[in-house]
Amino acid sequence: MSIAAPPGTRCTSERYFALIDAGALGPDAKVELLEGVIVAMAPEGPRHEVAIDKTAEALRLAVAGRAVVRVQHSVHAGARSVPEPDVAVVTGTHDDYVHARPKTALLVVEVARTSLARDRRRKARIYAAAGIPEYWIVNLRDDVVEVSRSPNRDAARYTETRIARRGERLELVALPGARVAVDDLLPRR
C-alpha cells in the first residue's frame, strides 16, 4: 500500500518528517519514504525476524568500537527517500543521532523474501544514489546473501554484485578487518 501524493507531486523527506512530527504518521505506522512515495512495509514472519536479529548481532560483534549498528531505523537517503533498512552500520555513536537521522551508512542490509524484487531494484537505486558503499540483501528465499558494492551515484546503481553462500565470510568494504560469516546472517531452514 502507498499513500498517494497529489497527482504530479512527490513527497519530500522534509514533508515526510513533518508528517511524523505532527503525529500523522504515528509510531505504529510501518511505512517508509521511497522515491517520494510513502510505502507500507509488509509484516514480518518469524524467520525474517530471526534473520534481522542474527545479522544485527553478527555485525555488532564485527564492528565493535568502530561503528554502530541500527536496527529498523530510518536513513535520510536523499531529498525524497527515507528508507528503514532492517540493519544499518553507521559511523559515530548512537548519541550522534539523537537530533538527526544518519544521511548515509557504511553498510545497509535488507532481509527479504516477499520484498525481494523491491529490495533488488528500488532500494538498491536509493542506496546507490545515496553513496552507501555496500548493500546486502539477506535473501531468505534462496538462502544466500546478495552483496552489492561500489555505488555509481549518478547512475543510481551498484557496479559490483555477487552472491555469498553459506561457508563464506564477508568483509565490510568501509571497515577492513570487520568480517562476518554468511552462516551467522541466515537462519536455519
pLDDT tens string 5-23: 444 458 999 999 999 889 8
CA distance linking residue 31 with residue 67, whole number of Å: 26
Task: Evaluate whether residue 37 is within a structural domain.
Answer: no
Task: Evaluate whether residue 2 is within a structural domain.
Answer: no
Contact 84, 74 (CB under 8 A): yes
Whichever domain contains 178, its CATH number is 3.90.1570.10
pLDDT above 80 for 84: yes
Task: Evaluate whether residue 33 is within a structural domain.
Answer: no
For residue 167, the model assigns a pLDDT of 98
Q: Which domain holds residue 75?
A: 43-184
| Buried-state track 149-159, b at ≥16 Cβ within 10 A, e below 16 | bebeeeebbbe
For residues 171 and 21, which has the higher predicted lDDT (pLDDT)? 171
Task: Evaluate whether residue 7 is within a structural domain.
Answer: no
pLDDT above 90 for 185: yes
Count of domains forming the chain: 1
pLDDT tens string 70-81: 999 999 999 999
pLDDT above 50 for 126: yes
- Say what percent of the chain tops pLDDT 90: 85
pLDDT above 60 for 143: yes
CA distance linking residue 125 with residue 110, whole number of Å: 13
CA distance linking residue 160 with residue 151, whole number of Å: 8
Burial of 106 (0-12, 13-18, 19+ CB in 10 A): buried
pLDDT tens string 18-42: 998 898 887 778 899 999 999 998 8
Highest mean pLDDT among 12-16, 43-47, 98-102, 143-147: 143-147
pTM for this predicted structure: 0.92
Task: Evaluate whether residue 122 is within a structural domain.
Answer: yes
Task: Evaluate whether residue 127 is within a structural domain.
Answer: yes
pLDDT above 90 for 165: yes
Task: Evaluate whether residue 97 is within a structural domain.
Answer: yes
Task: Evaluate whether residue 38 is within a structural domain.
Answer: no
